[in-house]
Amino acid sequence: MRKPASAYRGVQVFTYKELEFATDNFSEANVIGNGGSSVVYKGVLADGTVAAIKRLHRDRKQGERAFRMEVDLLSRLNSPYLVELLGYCADQHHRLLIFEFMPNGTLQQHLHHPSSEYRPLDWGSRLRIALDCARALEFLHEHATPTVIHRDFKCTNVLLDPHLRAKVSDFGLAKMGSDKTNGQISTRVPRTAGYLAPEYASTGKLTTKSDVYSYGVVLLQLLTGRVPLDIKRPPGEHVLVSWALPRLTNRDKVDDMVDPAIQGQYSKKDLIQVAAIAAMCVQPEADYRPLMVDVVQSLIPLAKNFNSVNSPGFLRFHRQSSGLKY
């Protein structure tokens, strides 16, 4: 039987049977992620490629046209800082998306569920991850045409490769904005506790600056090791942003908020600079938040200087091995 050709450049079309075989008939043992609208399986394709296979639920409120638009969007977002779409399946009523597999799990697992498999991240790794994520959002906001708003940027959507370099995932929720400078959309979005920009509650609108806010929350998690919302903490410490903001700009208190796992691994100067970036990103007023291109430019010297000092061969090795850049 002849395989159907893909209408999308660089994206392969798979049959449902091929994906059944790749996942051992969608075995529970191969489940690596489970969300409200899909289940993600680890699978091995016919050519030996290990992939993450996202099986969308049948009752998902998305028509054929919307699915095709999603595939079209994903196929055009080509960046070393975004998880790559390898293919898709639209076989009868089955809808699946096939992505590159990221073997080191999610940032969420490393920060909040450390184990023998997911070790705690050191300061240098956190700087590099912060920069990789910033570059991913910069690409969506500045280099995608039209502008793309991620809408659900969070630690579980940051995946890590064998070298602990980060790529951003879950663009099934992404939407194209209406203009290049501040792409704005009015929409209902998943209310991931602690990540959603405050203006959404009052206006129902999201812009690129809403992604900046979510990025700031992730940067705070990298700094503090805390989750965005934790009702088990003492009063006044439940919401990460509210607790962190007054400390981020206080030179005497900023040390006290740092994750104990990275104490002593950074200079006070670098810590203050990263804290200042985080403080700007989570400003309540969207207009006061920076553009992601500015965040990238602020982080480049911090990541580059730290890693060149602590690991002289690091920059050369990673440029060759991963295709990523500073």
3-state secondary structure the chain: CCCCCCCCCCCEECCHHHHHHHCCCCCHHHEEEECCCEEEEEEECCCCCEEEEEEECCCCCCCHHHHHHHHHHHHHCCCCCECCEEEEEEECCEEEEEEECCCCCEHHHHHHCCCCCCCCCCHHHHHHHHHHHHHHHHHHHHHCCCCEECCCCCHHHEEECCCCCEEECCHHHCEECCCCCCCCEECCCCCCCCCCCCHHHHHCEECHHHHHHHHHHHHHHHHHCCCCECCCCCCCCCEHHHHHHHHHCCCCCHHHHCCHHHCCCCCHHHHHHHHHHHHHHCCCCHHHCCCHHHHHHHHHHHHHHHHHHHCCCHHHHHHHHHCCCC
Domain count, the chain: 2
Please give the residue range of the domain that contains residue 38.
12-100
> CATH number, domain at 251?
1.10.510.10
Higher pLDDT, 103 or 63: 103
Read off the pLDDT of each residue in 278-291 and give the average, rounded to a whole number: 98
Predicted confidence band at 275 (pLDDT cuts at 50, 70, 90)?
very high
Whether the predicted pLDDT of 85 surpasses 80: yes
Q: CA 26, CA 41: separation in Å to the nearest integer?
A: 7
> CATH number, domain at 52?
3.30.200.20
In a domain, 325, yes or no: no
* Strand bridging mode 50-56 / 94-100: antiparallel
Higher pLDDT, 176 or 159: 159
pLDDT in tens, 180-197: 445 565 555 555 779 999
Assess whether 152 carries a catalytic annotation.
yes
State residue 4's pLDDT score: 53
Omega cis (within 30) before 146: yes
Whether the predicted pLDDT of 132 surpasses 90: yes
Q: Indicate the average pLDDT of the chain.
A: 87
State residue 10's pLDDT score: 75
Indicate whether 264 and 154 sit together in one domain. yes
Are 151 and 211 in contact by the 8 Å Cβ rule? The answer is yes
Domain boundary among 100, 115, 138: 100
Indicate whether 150 and 231 sit together in one domain. yes
Indicate whether 67 and 169 sit together in one domain. no
Indicate whether 17 and 126 sit together in one domain. no
In a domain, 2, yes or no: no
Whether the predicted pLDDT of 40 surpasses 50: yes
Indicate whether 54 and 72 sit together in one domain. yes
Indicate whether 137 and 96 sit together in one domain. no
State residue 232's pLDDT score: 93
In a domain, 6, yes or no: no
Read off the pLDDT of each residue in 33-54 and give the average, rounded to a whole number: 94
State residue 75's pLDDT score: 92
Percent pLDDT > 90 in the chain is 68
Read off the pLDDT of each residue in 112-132 and give the average, rounded to a whole number: 89
Whether the predicted pLDDT of 124 surpasses 50: yes
State residue 312's pLDDT score: 40
In a domain, 5, yes or no: no
Read off the pLDDT of each residue in 115-135 and give the average, rounded to a whole number: 92
The distance between the two most distant Cα atoms of the chain, rounded to a whole number of Å, is: 69
Domain boundary among 44, 70, 100: 100
Q: CA 99, CA 32: separation in Å to the nearest integer?
A: 13
Indicate whether 158 and 256 sit together in one domain. yes
In a domain, 4, yes or no: no
Residue with tokens 């991913």: 136
* Strand bridging mode 12-13 / 85-91: parallel
Indicate whether 238 and 213 sit together in one domain. yes
- Catalytic residue (one of 132, 152, 161, 170): 152
In a domain, 253, yes or no: yes
Indicate whether 155 and 209 sit together in one domain. yes
In a domain, 227, yes or no: yes
Is 232 flagged in the annotation as binding? no
